Amino acid sequence: MSNDYLWLLVIGMGVVTYVPRMLPMVFLKNLNLPPSMKRFLQFIPYAVLASLIFPGILTSVDTVESAIIGGLVSVILSLLRVNLILVVLGGIMGVFISEQMFFG
């Protein structure tokens, strides 16, 4: 297949990404859902966040060890309720320092 039609592929990928994002937002918004369904939707963020974090974090950087150290730094900082940006920078620093010192 020639590269001339890559733009068409990109548009196709864009459409199949956008439609599932858009449909519930536009059509569920004003529906009166049963309480258990509302509850289900309310619980989705926790389940999504937890599955995004683990086990993906383990392979996010060069070594599993430095990923764990970076992750722990972020957990400690978020338990201390510091600003989210510091949690992110702290995680990066944790990985950076541990790679330089131990696992690099």
List the one residue from 42, 64, 101, 102 that touches another protein (CB under 8 A): 42
The answer to the question of residue 101 lying near another protein (CB under 8 A) is no
Contacts of another protein in 55-84 (CB under 8 A): 55-57, 60-62, 66-67, 70-71, 73-75, 77-79, 81, 84
Contact between residue 64 and residue 86 where contact means Cβ atoms under 8 Å apart = no
The answer to the question of residue 22 lying near another protein (CB under 8 A) is yes
The answer to the question of residue 25 lying near another protein (CB under 8 A) is yes
Please name which of 97, 98, 91 lies closest in space to residue 65, comparing C-alpha atoms.
98
Contact between residue 64 and residue 92 where contact means Cβ atoms under 8 Å apart = no
Please name which of 41, 21, 43 lies closest in space to residue 31, comparing C-alpha atoms.
41
The answer to the question of residue 45 lying near another protein (CB under 8 A) is yes
List the one residue from 2, 64, 65, 90 that touches another protein (CB under 8 A): 90
Task: Say how far apart CA 53 and CA 33 lie, in whole Å.
Answer: 29
